[in-house]
Amino acid sequence: MTHIFAHRGAAGTHPENTMAAFEEALKAGADGIELDVQLTKDGEPVVIHDETVDRTTDGSGWVRDMTYRELRKLNAAAKWNGRYGHCPIPHLEEVLAWLAPTPLMVNIELKNSLVAYERLEQKAIAVVHRYGLENRTIFSSFNHNSMRLCRQLAPEIETALLYMEPLYDPWTYVRAMKAEGVHPYYRTVTAAFVMDAQRRGVAVRPFTVNKPKTVKTMFAYKVDAIFTDDPRQAKEWKEKTP
């Protein structure tokens, strides 16, 4: 059965990576949420996709140059014409504390490809442990060195490799990285690839799947999960899938 992960929360209908978006994911009946983590100047893990705050908030500048206190003043719903009021950028701790009593799974994407955040892996792992979420967490990153480190530091937490272009000899690579899953750009995914992965015990969770035709194709391929901006819509389509 294909799980539905709400991408950056329900980012198609709510301000991405905010508590409002995660709460909508739960209400919509998603199986999990996906979120992105960066570190502030004072080393706090915060939930925001870009390395800068410009696109999603009323502020400007790099996350790594702002203290947590400064960053919390920004409105991550600023681009939604007042529809969601003031939504601060969440601390990773805030999201996991909220998620722990729900049935949701969480995919924590470490955004450390452009900025080499010091000890991001250790900090994210510590929060997962604090809330006992080892069995409901998947770490992912386009930075595969970071995934290898997570695996070494916390072998009990699943890791998955994010990528845009097809990998050469993916199964040898995935085994070498000791990852349990791959999170490929959906256009690289074929039915044969999914069958091959599943035969080898590797989970396939393509991103970001929004168009009806593509969502339905991924359900037909029986991928392990999809990341989608509209979990409510995806759930409806899933219920109609034979």
Interacting residues with ligand G3P between 153 and 192 (CB under 6 A):
162, 183
**According to CB under 6 A, which one of 102, 208, 214, 217 is a site residue for ligand G3P?**
208
Out of 3, 14, 49, 91, pick the active-site residue: 49
Determine the angle formed by the axes of helices 92-99 and 19-28, rounding to 10 degrees.
20
**C-alpha distance from residue 7 to each of 4, 109, 147, 156, 236 (Å):** 9, 11, 20, 24, 17
**Contacts to Ca ion from residues 62-121, by CB under 5 A:** 109
**Cα dihedral: 206, 211, 213, 215 (round 10):** 40
Q: 52 by DSSP, 3-state: which? A: strand
Q: Residue 75 binds which one of ligand G3P, Ca ion, none, with CB within 5 to 8 A depending on kind?
A: none
Measured from the CB of residue 242, what is the shortest distance to ligand G3P in angstroms? Answer: 27
Q: How far apart (Å, rounded) are the C-alpha atoms in residues 111 and 80? A: 24
Selected binder of ligand G3P within 36, 44, 121, 224 (CB under 6 A): 36
- Indicate if 49 belongs to the active site: yes
Kindly write down the DSSP assignment for every residue of 142-187, as one continuous string: S-HHHHHHHHHH-TTSEEEEEESSPPSSHHHHHHHHT-SEEEEBGG
Q: Tell me the sheet residues that pair with 182.
A: 161, 204
Query: Is 14 among the residues known to form the active site?
Result: no
**Residue closer to ligand G3P, measured from CB, 151 or 183:** 183
Binder to ligand G3P among 34, 44, 224, 230 (CB under 6 A)?
34
Per-residue contact track with ligand G3P, 87 to 116, x per CB under 6 A? ----------------------x-------
For helices 92-99 and 120-130, give the axis angle rounded to 10 degrees. 30
Which residue out of 7, 91, 144, 183 is catalytically annotated?
7
User: CA quadruple 84, 226, 123, 110: dihedral positive or negative?
Assistant: negative
Residue nearest to ligand G3P (CB): 207
Residues engaged in binding Ca ion (CB under 5 A): 36, 109
Residues engaged in binding ligand G3P (CB under 6 A): 7, 34, 36, 49, 109, 140, 162, 183, 207-208, 227
